[in-house]
Chains A and B, each alone.
Chain A
């Protein structure tokens, strides 16, 4: 090992290289690296935020959807109820109407029966009278026997 001025030369070269490295090499490189680091961190955070927002939005969507479904169900139920009511009402009205018609018809029939009976009664009394006249061979005074006739008529 013989030492010579190479020692000094190497020291000087070393100092110059370190100085250059410190001035022109290290700062831009480490700066770029740190900046990129920051950007990546930020990007990851943004992605996570986006993910969270998406989840929230999805939760809200499903909530809204459930609500909407419930409302629709309610509306349908109400509509069905209303329809049932309308049908029932119509049935009642129809029944009333039918009753009315039936009553009218019954009344009509009764009236006709009564009038027919009255007629029949009158005819029967006439026939009875004429029959009696033939039997007795004489005229029966209707007025005199009115009481008897009426009794007869009432019996028919």
Chain B
């Protein structure tokens, strides 16, 4: 399918561009049809594809789990119910292991993060061309189906976690306690500015590392899938080799997407645990 593009570079660029909705330079609202238009739209525009897949997968997650929650009983579970309860147990164990306090928000938060991010990542395993090609038949210029390769999505999650970190830090330690944590460590009080810089960086690094780790992994994986897909236009032999490569990479990717979801979840729990601890 790379045949319809001028060259490989354009193919790659096309696959890495979001479907953006925003205000164009002439004042009208609509979908951007070129990278230049996207740039003109600025901050107040929306990545329709990321938003759609992200919310759709989120609703899918909630629907499945809500159904399981309704059916939950003390009888022996079967099939999907069993799988979901296993997941719940797994999350519960992780939260109990990492989070020392008692907080009814943490476990549902961890569950949402784990399953949702896993689903977002899972889109990566769908062959890179299928859905964008179908969409292009319907006149959609760009479509990126893996939401976690969009930094907006990963930073959206990470910033929410960051707000929770700040919120619980202030709630558990008080504003003074939170400030003291930032200002009076690791050096004595008279070196407060240096402490503030060091601890401030540490604090900011938490959401940034969360978001960039997920984004980086998924983006790189996606790029490799795209590169493999380019091989399909290189004749039979190369195409066959590409197919084998894609299979191997996809199998390996199953591990990566699960691991990334798990890491995001575990780090969130750990960060919130650190924020909730009153004695530093």
Contacts and interface: CB of A to CB of B under 8 A. Distances in A.
Interface of A: 1-11, 13-15, 17-18, 20-22, 24-26, 28-33, 35-36, 39
A2 B35 CA distance: 11
A26 B46 CA distance: 31
Interface of B: 18, 20, 22, 38-39, 41-47, 50-51, 54-55, 58, 61-62, 65-66, 68-70, 72-74, 84-85, 88-89, 92, 104-105, 107-109, 111-112, 116, 150-153, 155-157, 159-160
Contact of B157 (A2, A10, A28): A10
B152 A6 contact: yes
Instruction: Tell me whether chain A's interface is mostly helix, strand or loop, or mixed.
Output: helix
A13 to B, nearest CB: 5
Contacts of A33: 72, 85, 88-89, 92
Contact of A3 (B72, B112, B151): B151
Given A4-B46, A9-B156, A13-B156, 4 more contacts: A5-B43, A28-B69, A28-B70, A33-B92
Given A22-B108, A25-B111, A30-B107, A3 B69 contact: no
A8 B74 contact: no
Given A2-B39, A13-B54, A18 B74 contact: no
Contact of B160 (A2, A14, A28, A31): A14
Could you tell me the dominant secondary structure of chain B's interface residues?
Answer: helix
A46 B237 CA distance: 67
Contacts of B54: 10, 13
A28 to B, nearest CB: 4
28 contacts: A1-B151, A3-B155, A4-B42, A4-B46, A4-B152, A5-B44, A6-B50, A6-B51, A6-B152, A6-B153, A9-B46, A9-B51, A10-B153, A11-B156, A11-B159, A14-B157, A14-B160, A20-B62, A21-B65, A25-B65, A25-B68, A25-B108, A26-B69, A29-B88, A30-B88, A31-B72, A32-B72, A32-B74
A24 B92 CA distance: 16
Contacts of B70: 28
Given A4-B43, A14-B156, A26 B107 contact: yes
A18 B73 CA distance: 23
